[in-house]
Amino acid sequence: MPRLVFAFIVTFLLSSLPGSKLIARLRAMQIGQNISEDAPQTHTKKQGTPTMGGLLIHFGLTLAMLAYIGFFQWDMHRHLIGDLKLLPLLLLTLAFGAIGFLDDYLSLKRGKNLGLRAREKFLAQCLVAALFVLWLALTSNSDINLVNIAPVQLGYYSPIALYGFYYLLCLLLIVGFSNATNFADGLDGLSAGLNLITALALAVLVYSTEPTIAFFCIALAGSLAGFLWWNAYPARVFMGDTASLAIGAGLAGAAIMGKQEVGFVVASLVCWAELVSVIVQVLVFKYRRRRRGLDYAKTHRVFLRTPLHHHFEELGWPETQVVLRFWLAGLVCAALALLWRY
């Protein structure tokens, strides 16, 4: 446990201390956020705020992971094989970060948020996630497809065998949560705070059985906290897809490796709600447009605006109030996940 606390402090410092220099560099290079036309009018003042600040998160997390694997092998209670399994998890995170980085770069180059096409981004995510799931299938024992879907309090300890269907669910979990964290990254500090809460909850969930995975979660939490120092309202930098896609993939991968898939979903329900709100809005709009026409579909939307946090902004909630209340909801979900496990 002291090592985990130390990891949190170190990654916090690694992600926060270089922040001012990175922000100044991004401003000098004119790497600023293009605000979408679909965003609320109150967001126009954020035009030009430096983006791709999620590099701070990658910096802290990567250094911590490499140090953990490479420099602490003197501990007789540590096993290199167990530590090396962090490498595929780190590679998964960095690969999704590379997809996000390319999307951010193209958006800046082309302007008006014209980055990767949605289909291109989705296919790239599926490919990387599929490689990670294939690695799991080839290196894990036959119990990998077992999932305990009932709370411990019910006394139900017999897990459900999902067989080959499990790997499809893993793929959906990684790609789905990657996009969920991306959609949640729409207000100052919102995504960083929510995923900080989820990462800490997941660390507690996996600590007793997979302490190395818990280390990854704590290192990610520390990096998020360090980035939040600069991303809290009023944000001086945005993480961009460079980090938002990577955070979701990394946490989902950690949950799968730690066999805490259900607890993870419960802990991260607020981010999932962001994703579901977008899906529901699009599907219902297309259905009503086909049945009733475009004008009817535009005036009968399920939400005033999506993702979900924008809906509450349209209701008149100040940005800081939306963020704080979403964080509180995230804390409740994390508490429910821990109650589910313990």
DSSP codes, 207-228: HTT-HHHHHHHHHHHHHHHHHH
Q: What is the pLDDT of residue 159?
A: 72
Q: What is the pLDDT of residue 155?
A: 43
Which structure tokens are listed for 9?
Answer: 């402090």
Residues 233, 236, 241, 245, Cα dihedral to 10°: -50
What angle separates helix 55-70 from helix 241-257, to the nearest 10 degrees? 40
Query: Residue 73 carries which DSSP code?
Result: T
Q: What is the pLDDT of residue 76?
A: 46
pLDDT of 220 strictly over 70: yes
* Residue 167 banded pLDDT, cuts 50, 70, 90: very high
For residues 286-303, average pLDDT: 93
- What tens digit of pLDDT does each residue of 327-339 get? 999 999 999 999 9
Domain segments of the chain: what residues? 2-259
- Binding site for Mg(2+), residues? 182, 241
Q: Are 189 and 330 in contact, with CB atoms under 8 Å apart?
A: no
pLDDT of 269 strictly over 70: yes
Q: What is the pLDDT of residue 160?
A: 75
* Residue 153 banded pLDDT, cuts 50, 70, 90: very low
Q: How many CB atoms lie within 10 A of CB 159?
A: 14
- Where is average pLDDT lowest: 144-148, 195-199, 234-238? 144-148
The angle at the Cα of 53, spanning 330 to 320, to the nearest 5 degrees, equals 40
* Residue 145 banded pLDDT, cuts 50, 70, 90: low
Higher-pLDDT residue of 152, 277:
277
Phi first, then psi, for residue 229 (nearest 5°) are -55, -35
For residues 278-287, average pLDDT: 96
Q: What is the pLDDT of residue 82?
A: 58
Expressed in angstroms, the distance from the first to the final Cα of the chain is: 18
- What tens digit of pLDDT does each residue of 17-36 get? 999 999 999 999 888 777 66
- What tens digit of pLDDT does each residue of 198-208 get? 999 999 999 98
pTM, rounded to two decimals: 0.92
Length of the chain measured in residues = 342
Higher-pLDDT residue of 154, 248:
248
- Binding site, residues? 182, 241
* Residue 72 banded pLDDT, cuts 50, 70, 90: low
Instruction: Give me the percent of the chain exceeding a pLDDT of 90.
Output: 71
pLDDT of 280 strictly over 60: yes
Q: What is the pLDDT of residue 134?
A: 94
For residues 102-121, average pLDDT: 85
* Residue 156 banded pLDDT, cuts 50, 70, 90: very low
Residue with tokens 């899906």: 279
For residues 307-316, average pLDDT: 95
- Where is average pLDDT lowest: 16-20, 37-41, 96-100, 166-170? 37-41
The whole-angstrom distance between residue 296's C-alpha and the CA centroid of its chain comes to 35
Residue-averaged pLDDT of the chain: 89
* Residue 48 banded pLDDT, cuts 50, 70, 90: confident
Q: What is the pLDDT of residue 163?
A: 76
Quick one: which of 236, 195, 190 has its CA closest to 51? 236
Q: What is the pLDDT of residue 161?
A: 73
Q: What is the pLDDT of residue 46?
A: 73
For residues 300-313, average pLDDT: 95
